[in-house]
Amino acid sequence: MAKQYDVVVIGAGAAGMMCAAVAAQRGKSVVLIDHAERLAEKIRISGGGRCNFTNVNAAPANFLSQNPNFCRSALSRYTPQDFLALVKKYRIAHHEKHKGQLFCDDSSEQIIQMLRAECAAGEVSWRTPCKVAGIEKLETGFLVTAEGGDIACESVVIATGGLSIPKIGATDFGYRIATQFGLGIVEPRPGLVPLTFDGPSWEAFVPLAGIALEVEVSTGSAKAKGKGAAQRGHFREDLLFTHRGLSGPAILQISSYWQPGTPIVIDLLPEMDVAEELIGMKSTVKKQMGNVLAQWLPTRLAEGLLLANGFALDARLADMPDAKLRKLGDAINRWAIVPTGSEGYRKAEVTLGGVDTRELSQQTMMANKVQGLYFIGETVDVTGWLGGYNFQWAWASGYVAGSSV
Ligand code: FAD
């Protein structure tokens, strides 16, 4: 005989724990299932171990989705201030780091303990580690077939996240269940991920691994095609040269907007119109080109750019034709490069795409055509920028589903 609960939440990560706690504190009987040995591993490793748990500025404009307005309702019903109030209630010391990003002073483990305590306050039952074999729709409610015995319930909440970092337990479970129930999926792809480059045009940049600098980066050239091309990314953040290509916050951010085969455009000196500056200095400055650029850029980068653009390092600025300086200025202020690919799900912080938001109610996260079936968190086609936005989506979508089940 199947055990009976009001709600089964599958996936005890950020969204699942929030949803279970909220539903249970409303008096629902809730069981939270996860297949992993260790709970909430992504919260644990997040923010370099200090969990960037929200962003005080989180707004729909910070999210990517085929329907950019879908997240509006949940984000306004459960705000960063609401989560912050919870963090304060548990006396978790925290600080704002950069652009509204809030981090724990000590450890992301504190956020996990807080969510566990919220679940305990509602007497949530746990089944971990536990594999779910299937979900079947009954006349009223569902039958969940899982290790430890079948469970009958009124509502099932799928909170199994995306495909990023498979080695800590990411699966395509959410997409499979959506497909089983006839719901559409926006094709998943890695987001917030380093981009890779190869071929002869990249060779000059390989020795630059380790160099970091603040840049402006954008996508959305006229050539961009396909789903998501309408959303254009533009960020001012740090860029890092790596052995395989480019990383750092600027690249992670733009990677979510990047469409394969299209360029990203980098302004390596956003404060300056380099061509105008060089042409203006020509008559008064006697320096060599390498020394001129090294005033503004890391020396190795300055040299790499000169070599890649056909300049000898000891060429004198005064001898350079204006047209050549303009070309160099373009290469620095509008460096357009086409990534070969990305580091993939192995390194991606998030998964773009997922359950199509047109299938879900934005007020409750319930599937429009399957009464009682909910999808929350990263499984859904809503993906935040780097900087605490993805957890805010997990909390907000978990909260609205937990308030509705
Ligand atoms: P998850 O937290 O991934 O939880 C999904 C749960 O489902 C897991 O516990 C998993 O074990 C379980 N599960 C999966 N498949 C099954 C299955 N078949 N059966 C049962 N259980 C299953 N975001 C931020 O906002 N700030 C940060 O600082 C930040 N840092 C990050 C750092 C890294 C390295 C990574 C990878 C991500 C980071 N993120 C950050 C993103 C953030 O972690 C995710 O967006 C967020 O965890 C998504 O929450 P979720 O509950 O939807 O999914």
Cα of 256 vs centre of ligand 1, distance in Å, is 17
pLDDT tens readout for residues 247-275: 999 999 999 999 999 999 999 999 999 99
Determine if ligand 1 sits within 6 Å of the CB of residue 35: yes
Determine if ligand 1 sits within 6 Å of the CB of residue 349: yes
Which phi-psi region, left, alpha or beta, contains residue 313 (left: φ > 0; alpha: ψ -120 to 50)? alpha
Cis bond upstream, residue 129 (ω within 30): yes
Q: Domain range for residue 293?
A: 195-342
On whether both 224 and 104 belong to a single domain, the answer is no
Which of the listed residues 342, 362, 380 is the one where a domain comes to its end? 342
On whether both 92 and 140 belong to a single domain, the answer is yes
Provide the ipTM.
Answer: 0.99
Are residues 137 and 370 in contact, defined by beta-carbon separation less than 8 angstroms? yes
Q: Which residue's CA is minimally distant from atom 4 of ligand 1?
A: 13
CATH code of the domain containing 72: 3.50.50.60
Tokens for 123? 């007497």
Determine if ligand 1 sits within 6 Å of the CB of residue 127: no
Which phi-psi region, left, alpha or beta, contains residue 91 (left: φ > 0; alpha: ψ -120 to 50)? left
On whether both 62 and 153 belong to a single domain, the answer is yes
Determine if ligand 1 sits within 6 Å of the CB of residue 34: yes
Which of the listed residues 309, 327, 342 is the one where a domain comes to its end? 342
Of 6, 5, 102, nearest in space to 395 by CA: 102
Q: Determine which helix (DSSP H) or strand (DSSP E) holds 394, and give its type and residue range.
A: helix 389-404
On whether both 227 and 117 belong to a single domain, the answer is no
Name the pairing type of β-strands 195-196 and 373-375.
unpaired
Cα of 81 vs centre of ligand 1, distance in Å, is 21
Provide the sign of the torsion angle of the four alpha carbons 129, 377, 393, 165, taken in this order.
Answer: positive
- Counted domains in the chain: 2
**Above 60 in pLDDT, residue 228?**
no
Q: Which residue's CA is minimally distant from atom 3 of ligand 1?
A: 161
pTM: 0.95
DSSP assignment letter at 9: E
* Residue 222 binned pLDDT confidence (cut-offs 50, 70, 90): very low
* Residue 221 binned pLDDT confidence (cut-offs 50, 70, 90): low
Alpha helices in 70-125 (DSSP H): 72-77, 80-89, 109-121
Provide the sign of the torsion angle of the four alpha carbons 36, 350, 133, 158, taken in this order.
Answer: positive
Probe residue for ligand 1, chosen from 9, 10, 46 as the CB with the greatest number of ligand atoms within 8 Å: 46
Are residues 345 and 170 in contact, defined by beta-carbon separation less than 8 angstroms? yes
On whether both 161 and 232 belong to a single domain, the answer is no
Probe residue for ligand 1, chosen from 8, 179, 385, 390 as the CB with the greatest number of ligand atoms within 8 Å: 390
Q: Determine which helix (DSSP H) or strand (DSSP E) holds 264, and give its type and residue range.
A: strand 264-267
Could you identify the atom of ligand 1 that is nearest to the CA of residue 47? 28
Instruction: Give 218's contacts (C-beta < 8 A, 6+ positions apart).
Output: 232, 233, 234, 235, 254, 264, 265
Cα of 254 vs centre of ligand 1, distance in Å, is 21
On whether both 314 and 355 belong to a single domain, the answer is no
* Residue 307 binned pLDDT confidence (cut-offs 50, 70, 90): confident
On whether both 203 and 314 belong to a single domain, the answer is yes
Section 31-47 average pLDDT: 95
Provide the sign of the torsion angle of the four alpha carbons 42, 47, 48, 51, taken in this order.
Answer: negative
* Angle value at C-alpha 160, between 130 and 352, nearest 5 degrees: 155
Determine if ligand 1 sits within 6 Å of the CB of residue 160: yes
Are residues 140 and 132 in contact, defined by beta-carbon separation less than 8 angstroms? no
pLDDT score at 224: 42
Cα of 379 vs centre of ligand 1, distance in Å, is 9
On whether both 338 and 366 belong to a single domain, the answer is no
C-alpha dist (Å) from residue 139 to 10, 182, 283, 366: 21, 17, 84, 17
80-89 vs 389-404: helix crossing angle, rounded to 10: 90
How many whole angstroms separate alpha carbon 218 and alpha carbon 220?
A: 7
On whether both 31 and 169 belong to a single domain, the answer is yes
On whether both 253 and 170 belong to a single domain, the answer is no
Of the ranges 45-54, 290-299, 305-314, 332-341, which one carries the lowest mean pLDDT score?
Answer: 305-314
On whether both 293 and 367 belong to a single domain, the answer is no
pLDDT tens readout for residues 309-331: 889 888 999 999 999 999 999 99
Cα of 42 vs centre of ligand 1, distance in Å, is 5
Could you identify the atom of ligand 1 that is nearest to the CA of residue 13? 4
On whether both 27 and 102 belong to a single domain, the answer is yes
CATH code of the domain containing 228: 2.40.30.10
Instruction: Give 64's contacts (C-beta < 8 A, 6+ positions apart).
Output: 191, 228, 231, 256, 257, 352, 382, 383, 384
Which of the listed residues 319, 342, 365 is the one where a domain comes to its end? 342
Tokens for 337? 């490069």
pLDDT tens readout for residues 350-377: 999 999 999 999 999 999 999 999 999 9
How many whole angstroms separate alpha carbon 282 and alpha carbon 316?
A: 9
Are residues 391 and 53 in contact, defined by beta-carbon separation less than 8 angstroms? yes
